[in-house]
Each structure stands twice: as C-alpha cells, then as structure tokens.
Amino acid sequence: MTRDIESVEQVGVVGAGTMGSGIAQVAAATGYDVILRDIETKYVEDGLAAIADRVDRDVEAERRSENEAAMIQERISGTTTLDDLTACDLIVEAAVEDMDIKQDIFSDLDAMTSEDAILATNTSTLSITSIASVTKYPERVIGIHFMNPVPVMDGVELVAGEKTADDVLTLARSFTETLGKEAWVSDDKPGFVTNRILMPWINEGIRAYNEDVATKEDIDKGMTLGTNAPMGPLTLADHIGLDVCLHATETLYNEFGDRYKPAYLLKRKVEAGDLGKKTGKGFYEYE
C-alpha cells in the first residue's frame, strides 16, 4: 500500500462517544466503510444510535435524503474487538484524554495493523510524540483533532509528532479535505493552536462570572456580540463538557504554570458532576 488518499478505503474509529461517532458519521457520509469500536457493546450501540438520530434529523430538516441517511448507517459497523480494525487503512483514536489509555491503544494498533496504515489520534492536548513513542512505526502516527460537533464544524487541526512522516501529514490533510473539512497545522506543543488559545478564554469567562463581573448571560452576550464569536465562553464550555475543559486547562497549567491555572468554579462544577450539556446542567440547564 502506498500512502495516498486513493489507498484509504476502510476507516477505523476507536471510541464511540460524541467525537468518535461524529468522526464515523462524516467518514461514512463521504463514502468510506467505517468500523466503530468501543470497549463495551452498550457504548457501541449508543454511538450508532447517536449517528442514526443525527442523520434522521438531517432528513427531517431536508439536509439529506432518506436514501443518503440509510447509506451512511449501512457503511458503519460496530465492534468491541480491536482486532476487527486490522485491515483498516486509517484509524482515528477518539478515546478519553488519558495518556496511558491512548498509549495502550496505539501499542496494540501498531502491532496488529500494516506498517503502511495511518494511526491518528483525536487528542486535543496530549503530545503526539509521546503517544507515538510506544509504537514501532512512530512515523505513521499523527494528530487529527476534529472540532465538536464533528458533523457541523468545518475545521480540523493536524499535529505532526517529532517523527511523523511528511507523506502521512499530506495524506491526513487530503483525508480531511475529502470529508469536507479545512485543516490547519500545529506543532506538537501543549494545547496545539486551538486549546492553547481557547481554554484561557473560557477559563477567564468563568472567573469573570465567579467574581460577579456580569451575569453569565451578559458575559456570553458580550463575547458573542463584541467579538463575533458564535457563542460565549460559558455556553461553549457547557457544549464542550466542563470535565474536558478542566482536563485541558490542567494539562496546560502543568506545562506553562499560573497563566493557565483552572478557575475555582470550573473545578467545583466538575466535582459536583455538572459537566454541561451532556449531563443536563453546567452553567446553564438543558433538557
């Protein structure tokens, strides 16, 4: 197999949560055969159900036909067995943001796939070089950081590790373009481009609310109307997940020090289990 976009026919996705199911959906919508894997059958079924719900809503909104929706679902198969991804040409890992877990996954994938297959991680903060260090072929490991929600957001962040091969970066860019996304490239530095800049914005919005600078509604209104951002920092934090924001901010804090220190209120809400939209309550309440 040569590393060019024509060689990619089957895509594997490890992790069937919000990000993984979204990646599987857009890949299937492009025409790729997709295998969606998670550690338990329930998680796989939940991911497939989320995809079905999204494409059904697309049909209702007349954004795609019933036939297109059916074809997307037919192209995606689910599994709890990592070995089922052996023949995949490109695999995107979208597991939890934990270095040990990601390294375990990449070590297993490295041992069971062709050395020409591309192994990508959807990590938003962790080092690509460190993830690749457990593999025999680190040159084929790359970061492909999709934005949430994947079916809606047009941008993708590509991150080359210390040993990522040039043709792997080229293929990753071509792959994201086939999905209808536009990519930018970041060096393998903590937080990359997006979270290095976004997390302080969210964190300071939370501090401003906690210090009674303004109501949460006016903080969000001020930042949307004042900067032309699509949503304010507190609303965005709820959509991302407060636990995800805290983890990303703590990673940056460990690397860069006090300028990234997590806001107290962010930590308190995560400790209380109010993680945002996915739990029904964060800074706002959701159905």
- Among 127, 157, 186, 203, which one carries the catalytic annotation? 157
Was 148 annotated as part of a binding site? yes
- Among 122, 127, 145, 247, which one carries the catalytic annotation? 145
Residue 80 contacts residue 38 (beta carbons within 8 Å) = yes
124 in active site: yes
Rounded to whole angstroms, how far apart are CA atoms 102 and 100? Answer: 6
Question: What residues have CB less than 8 Å from 18, skipping those under 6 apart?
Answer: 50, 148, 149, 278
Was 22 annotated as part of a binding site? no
195 in active site: yes
7 in active site: no
- Among 21, 195, 203, 247, which one carries the catalytic annotation? 195
Token pair in block for residue 36:
């969606």
Was 31 annotated as part of a binding site? no
Rounded to whole angstroms, how far apart are CA atoms 30 and 83? Answer: 24
Q: What is the dihedral of CA 204, 263, 99, 153, to 10 degrees?
A: -40
Residue 282 contacts residue 245 (beta carbons within 8 Å) = no
Was 102 annotated as part of a binding site? yes
145 in active site: yes
Was 211 annotated as part of a binding site? no
Was 49 annotated as part of a binding site? no
Was 241 annotated as part of a binding site? no
Was 124 annotated as part of a binding site? yes
- Among 21, 124, 127, 186, which one carries the catalytic annotation? 124
Q: Which residues are catalytic?
A: 124, 145, 157, 195
| Binding residue ranges | 15-20, 38, 97, 102, 124, 148, 278
| Binding residue ranges for NAD(+) | 15-20, 38, 97, 102, 124, 148, 278
